[in-house]
Structure 1
Amino acid sequence: MSEIQKNAPLISQLLATWIKGENSESYTLANYANAAAILFQNMTAVNWAGFYLYHAETNTLALGPFLGKPATALIAPDKGVVGNAFTAQKTIVVPDVHAFSGHIVCDVDSNAEIVIPITTANGQKIGVLDIDSTQLNRFSKQEQADLEHFVQTLIQYIEVS
């Protein structure tokens, strides 16, 4: 059982408590950054955790706050795991990134990936949460559900234009 599976409610609660304690409810960028840090510190075998944010005017997903090695700055919808999850508007879990056709390699140590779309209740596409792991088959169905819950907690603290 992974750390987030044991502590999923606590991790989502930690995010909300941190944001409220910092009085940063209206500071979207800071909230993304702290969300990435909370995940990175509380998950095992994770080598990258962060966000790609959608820019409608250029129709691209741009690198947002993250922890890990430098990453691809711009990803087109339908490209890689990030673009495919964004376009499909559903979580994609890749047990082995080397078997995913079109995978965008940023860190050669990555072996598994999960990408969760960030979408408002009214359907506005914001971007994605992207997490990479050095471990094959890293992300379980329960962890997927826990991370989706984490994103729903985060959405409450994102200002949408």
Structure 2
Amino acid sequence: MNADQKAARYEEVAKEIAAVIDGENHVIARMATVSNILHHAFDHYFWTGFYLVDPEKPEELVIGPYQGTMGCLRIPFGKGVCGVAASTRETQIVEDVHAFPGHIACDARSESEIVVPVLDTAGELIAVFDVDSDKKAMFDAIDRKGVETIVKAAFG
């Protein structure tokens, strides 16, 4: 898939997700739908899902709806790619997760990753959206724009 095809696919998927979640207010249902549709839309998606901010432990993420192999159950803020995205509230794109300081290997087959902070309508962090690939350097600016656009439309 070339860059133009990938960008067009993200636009199609964004419309599909918006149509499916229209009128659904439950955040877990929305997350399950986003992770499912995106996971099946792209061949380079190996693990696709959410880590939610734990209301009882606000500096920790807990596994949420996902597609793929087993995920880590909990990730502290600042640890691994997801924890860094949560603490900085900035999207992280990592070409080689094994070179990322403090990487948490939930599945050793993961090679590259993108993690997007999920903010609610008040601008509060409620989760991070994590996508792993089993190939190196699979995420770029097109993925960033596509995923950030979908997450903002679904939760922001």
Same fold? TM cut 0.5: yes
Structure-to-structure mapping, 1:10-21, within 5 angstroms: 10-20=12-22
| Counterpart contact for 1:4–1:11, Cα < 8 Å | no
Partner letter of residue 10 of structure 2?
Answer: A
2:50 is matched with 51
Structure 1: any 5+ residue segments left out of the alignment?
A: 157-161
In structure 1, what is the equivalent of residue 98 of structure 2? 98
C-alpha separation in 2, matches of 1:114 and 1:4: 15
Which residue identity is paired with 1:14? E
Q: Which residue of 1 aligns with 2:32?
A: 33
2:76 match: 76
1:22-47 deviation line (CA, Å, top 9, x unaligned): x5x12221111111001100011221
Offset of residue 122 of structure 1? 2.8
5+ residue gaps, structure 2, are none
Give the CA RMSD over aligned residues: 1.4
Offset, 1:4: 4.3
Distance 2:6 2:28 in 1: 23
Pair 8,35 (structure 1): closer, same or farther in 2 beyond 3 Å: same
1:58, CA displacement in angstroms?
1.0
Q: 1:9 aligns with which of 4, 8, 11?
A: 11
SS of aligned partner of 1:104: coil
Q: Check conservation: 1:120, 1:126, Cα contact below 8 A.
A: yes
1:121 shift after superposition: 4.1
- The alignment of Structure 1 onto Structure 2 pairs a total of residues equal to 153
The structure with higher relative contact order (CA 8 Å, sep 6+) is 1
